[in-house]
Amino acid sequence: MVDVDEKLLKLYLYMQHNDFSRDAVSDFLEISSRQLSRLMNKWSEDGFILFNSGLGRGNATQIDFLKNIEAEFINHLIRNLEDYDVQQLQSIMALDMSVNSKRILRLCIEEVLYSRRDFSVEQFNFIDYLYRIPERIHPLEPLDVALVTVLSNVGERLYNVKGNEVTKTLVIFDEWIGNDLIIHLQRDIHFSNGDLLFAYNVVQVLTDLIEAKADLPGLNDVLSVEVVDTFKLKISMRKKSDLIKYILSQDFATIYKVKANKILFTGPYFVHSLKPDILMLKLNPYYTTKIPDITDVWLINDLNQYQDFVQRKDLKEEHTRIRYSMDFLTINPNCHMTLEERKRLARIILGEEQPEVFIDKLRMLAIKGSRYTVSKVIETLNACVKSFEYIEVTIEDYIAKPLESFDVDVVMMNEALPMHQKYFNLLLSEKFSTWIKHYKESEYLQYIYQHKSIDYWRYAEHNYEQFLIQNGLIVILDYYGKKVLTMDSFKDYEVTDFGVVKYDSIISVEEEK
């Protein structure tokens, strides 16, 4: 990445009010004409300007700026602010920049001068196991626990949900004015390259999100998203609904920016390296909320290597009491089974009736490696079906392909979910909603979330679960907590509603020797 230098900024500001004259610009920049020519060639090669040399009588040199040089320089300055002394900063403040740029610059100068970051912290490495290493870390990729684990630790969202409470994360203040949600952003949030988070970054993310998921409840009521001020944006809705805040707390609404083909986030860690079998997270040096005890996180998909690490470090796996995931079967309502056959099959799987053959044929889909988990279900289905076919696919194929492409009657699913809103979240997912979303009961659950207060959600979830069970559309097999790798020095840690460990929340207290 090539940074904007101060001379290019001065040229940009000069050209806002003057025509180009080689002698005048050279004098203004206090350099020779030859030096100016070399700089202009360099700036052109770096992709900042386009120019013709204006050779011949009466042909003036034309300069086109390909980027907002002022904004680029401000971000450069933010990243390198501690390399500047007060006199240099004062001279930059004296330039004829916009009011917004000077306001941002003052905020950043105060932040660094009065609260300089000290990152001379002791290195503390941590290893965790992921069943797959995501190829691309982007919130609009198909989400699974592996990708959500990374996004939850490198990224942040405008809002956060814990239980039934929606709280602000990147938002310092919000208010409804009619059907418009006005959002004021925190002013000291940095991407992992040092760039400040501005309203236009958020607007770009939300615009792309709405384009990708326009049918989602909450997002389907958005009319427009626009920048109001440097740290202020407006979401215009068809009607006021706080569901939009809940939707913007989801992992697919993680805030990011793309710069030089790199995806940057604002969370406590950044992706330092990404390989097929290992992903390394390092501390984001511009994360201002707090300095985590864990500085480096290694995420690996080699279970033997993970278990070896656990044994060597004398670690232990702690199981949370709170349930974060659910094993269940989803039954295709359009398969050849009747309603009564689906309900009977569910009762047999749950051990409420004895198995006997009453179904001609059935195809069941599961992710490779699930056979041990569903062995009892497979045994039961073999006892009930004349022609039973068990189909295994890789996790990558399962995530990438639409459910209908597998042509099956039953799917074994394991989903990490916030248990307070599990069915609403399942309807947000493509796999579950494929067979279920067209029911009026599914539409009604989404209507409750969209038009009723959070107090109604629990009862709506209960009623919807009863509908699914009574219509033989779901068989709930079990609920699970989260296995967390700990050591004696770990005194506290946080697990999200989706069962993801927040590595920056781990508090490690070494015993005095």
> Which CATH number do you get for residue 26?
1.10.10
Instruction: Please give the tally of structural domains in the chain.
Output: 3
Distance of CA 490 to the CA centre of its chain: 26
Output the CA angle 297-301-306, nearest 5 degrees.
70
Confidence class of residue 116 from pLDDT cuts 50, 70 and 90? Answer: very low
More confident residue, 113 or 105: 105
- Out of 314, 347, 380, a domain closes at 314
- Among the candidates 279, 314, 349, a domain finishes at 314
pLDDT, tens digit (0-9, with 9 covering 90-100), for 374-419 = 899 999 999 999 999 999 999 989 998 999 999 999 999 998 888 8
Does residue 138 share a domain with residue 85?
no
- What gap in Å lies between CA 361 and CA 382, rounded to an integer? 10
10 Å CB burial of residue 118 (0-12, 13-18, 19+) is exposed
Task: Tell me the one-letter amino acid at 501.
Answer: V
The neighbour count for residue 172, using CB atoms within 10 Å, is 13
Kindly state whether residues 220 and 299 are assigned to the same domain. Answer: yes
Q: pLDDT at position 505, please?
A: 85
- Domain span at residue 396 reads 322-480
CATH, residue 268: 3.40.190.10
For residue 118, pLDDT beyond 70:
no
What's the whole-number mean pLDDT along residues 145-169?
A: 91
Total Cβ atoms within 10 A of residue 90 = 11
Token code pair at residue 112: 């660094």
Burial of residue 175 (number of CB atoms within 10 Å: 0-12, 13-18, 19+): exposed
494 domain residue, yes or no = no
- Residue pLDDT, tens place only, 276-323: 888 999 999 888 777 788 888 889 888 777 777 666 666 677 777 778
Q: What mean pLDDT comes out for the span 462-471?
A: 96
Asked if residue 267 lies in contact with residue 292, where contact means CB atoms within 8 angstroms, the answer is: no
For residue 413, being part of any structural domain is answered with yes
Share of the chain above pLDDT 70, in %: 88
Average pLDDT score over residue span 17-26: 86
pLDDT band at 360 (very low <50, low <70, confident <90, very high): very high
Amino acid at site 241: S
309 in a domain, yes or no? yes
| Rounded Cα–Cα distance for residues 460 and 35 (Å) | 71
Mean pLDDT of the chain: 86
pLDDT-derived band at 58, boundaries 50, 70, 90: very low
pLDDT for residue 3: 73
Q: What's the pLDDT at 101?
A: 76
Q: For residues 170 and 70, which has the higher predicted lDDT (pLDDT)?
A: 170
- Indicate which CATH number applies to the domain containing 394: 3.10.105.10
CA dist 432 to 276, 429, 437, 446, 488, Å? 28, 6, 8, 14, 40
Region of poorest pLDDT, from 102-106, 185-189, 289-293: 102-106
